[in-house]
Structure 1
Amino acid sequence: MSTDNRLTARQAAAEQTKQKLLAAAVAEFSQRPYDEVTVGGIARAAGVAHGLVSHHFQGKQGAYVAAVDAVYRQMEAAESSELVVDAVGDRLRQRFRRFLAFVAANPDTALNLILASGRDEAFAARREYSISVVTGWLDLPTGNAAVTVALAAFADAAEGLAAEWLRGGRATSPPTDTAPFSVEAMTEAFLALLAGALRSAQALDPSLDVRPALALL
């Protein structure tokens, strides 16, 4: 075997190990708080030597950053894949549906990384971007204090609802006797929260006319 082939084989093995460690890090940080995760636990979950965590990720914090980045990219891909509808209300439903389907498929990750109060800045930034998307789709004035406050409150309420939904084991579709709230029902609940937020914005700023935005929902 040539030197190049041996090098390529070693590189492939190293990348495979790194991916195992990344998957283990995502699982570990999804299942328990940051302070309870250990480098040894990540290595054991991946089935590799303890020192390889430091080799590939420079320790626990590096593994955490890589895990957050991996989950963030997965969530972004799920939410931002090509929209297949034109009407604003349908676009919102599709976006909310994709988010809910993602967290339903990854409840531990959602509760410990995406929806957690101490979540990483990557997810906080994603939330701000999502609010800006909704603002644009509804043709709401950017920079309006009432709109900013009301949509932030909507995001808080929607995330809180999603977290309670997951904690209650209700992330199933179709609904059952023990899990009555389907993804579709949750999607409509998000729309209802958004409508309430728009009305709140007008209550805060009577000069704001939210009727055109409400008509789009």
Structure 2
Amino acid sequence: MTAPLTRRQAAAEQTRRRLLAAAIEQFSRRPYTEVTVGDIARDAGVSQGLLAHHFTNKHGAYVAALHEARRNLGTLPATGPDLPPPVRLRRYWEGHFAYLAAHPDLALNLILSHAGPPEAAAEFEAARREGSRDIGALLGLDPDDPAVTMAMRAFGDGIDRLTADWLRAGQPFTVPALVEAGIQLLAGALRGLPLIDPAIRVDRALRLLRAGH
């Protein structure tokens, strides 16, 4: 059982959460290069020294903001192992797109942006690779197969572009429609797999995608 926080620890955690919220707000509204440590600290109502204590520097605050935003997006494994694969996939994407729709600035300037420091971009790619592996495994594909990796990366690039364009256009169609568009993008990427490697069978994966309708 975890011991309760002391008053000092609780105050420190509250300060950290305020700084994190301020960092998310700042990086959602402006590019990384335009945000300063002072901007984040002022937004949180604390000194710059406290930001350094909790996050070291602007880069640390950016990475923490990115982690928090991605945590709020959820993961495919969290959708419930007892549900059929196509239901899990659609539920995950429905929650994913609904969150992005409710936070368009955060989505465009933090989650879908590669404008941060190189280390953060690497973490973004690692998170996307993990998501692609989860999807591939859910559909019965070998996530370590080079051809599967290529196809899932192509799908990831496409769905990110589709999402960004959708948000910039003012969300002209519904989240369920975006989910179905994502399913079709994924199906198209999978159909090309046997052309790269004839040994890969995608029939079952495509049936699973169709079964979610």
Shorter-normalised TM-score: what interval? 0.7 to 0.9
The separation in 2 between residues aligned to 1:28 and 1:154, in whole angstroms, is 30
Aligned-partner SS, 2:74: helix
Q: Which amino acid aligns with 1:33?
A: P
The separation in 1 between residues aligned to 2:198 and 2:54, in whole angstroms, is 56
The separation in 1 between residues aligned to 2:204 and 2:8, in whole angstroms, is 60
TM-score of the superposition, structure 2-length normalised?
0.83
5+ residue gaps, structure 2, are: 1-5
- With over 3 angstroms needed to count, the CA separation of the structure-2 counterparts of 1:11 and 1:210, relative to structure 1, is closer
Shift of residue 12 of structure 1? 3.5
- Of the three residues 68, 71, 76, the one matched with 2:69 is 71
The separation in 2 between residues aligned to 1:138 and 1:84, in whole angstroms, is 13
Aligned-partner SS, 2:131: helix
Percent identity reads 47
Whether the aligned pair in 2 keeps the contact of 1:111 and 1:163 (CA below 8 Å) is: yes
Equivalent residue pairs, number: 201
Q: 1:174: which partner in 2?
A: none
Q: 2:186: which partner in 1?
A: 194
- With over 3 angstroms needed to count, the CA separation of the structure-2 counterparts of 1:197 and 1:45, relative to structure 1, is same
The separation in 2 between residues aligned to 1:15 and 1:211, in whole angstroms, is 50
**Could you list the per-position Cα deviations for residues 31-67 of structure 1 after superposition, in whole angstroms to 9, with x for gaps in the alignment?**
2111100111112211223433223322322222322
**Could you list the per-position Cα deviations for residues 148-203 of structure 1 after superposition, in whole angstroms to 9, with x for gaps in the alignment?**
21111011101110111111120xxxxxxxx3x11100000000001100111122
Whether the aligned pair in 1 keeps the contact of 2:74 and 2:96 (CA below 8 Å) is: no
Whether the aligned pair in 2 keeps the contact of 1:72 and 1:123 (CA below 8 Å) is: no
Whether the aligned pair in 1 keeps the contact of 2:158 and 2:185 (CA below 8 Å) is: yes
Q: Which amino acid aligns with 2:184?
A: A
Q: 2:32: which partner in 1?
A: 34
Q: Which amino acid aligns with 1:47?
A: G
- Of the three residues 105, 109, 117, the one matched with 1:112 is 109
Whether the aligned pair in 2 keeps the contact of 1:154 and 1:197 (CA below 8 Å) is: yes
5+ residue gaps, structure 1, are: 1-7, 171-178
Q: Computing the radius of gyration over CA atoms, which structure comes out larger, 1 or 2?
A: 1
- Of the three residues 44, 48, 51, the one matched with 2:49 is 51
Whether the aligned pair in 2 keeps the contact of 1:83 and 1:94 (CA below 8 Å) is: no
Q: 1:214: which partner in 2?
A: 206
Aligned-partner SS, 2:142: coil
The separation in 1 between residues aligned to 2:14 and 2:146, in whole angstroms, is 49
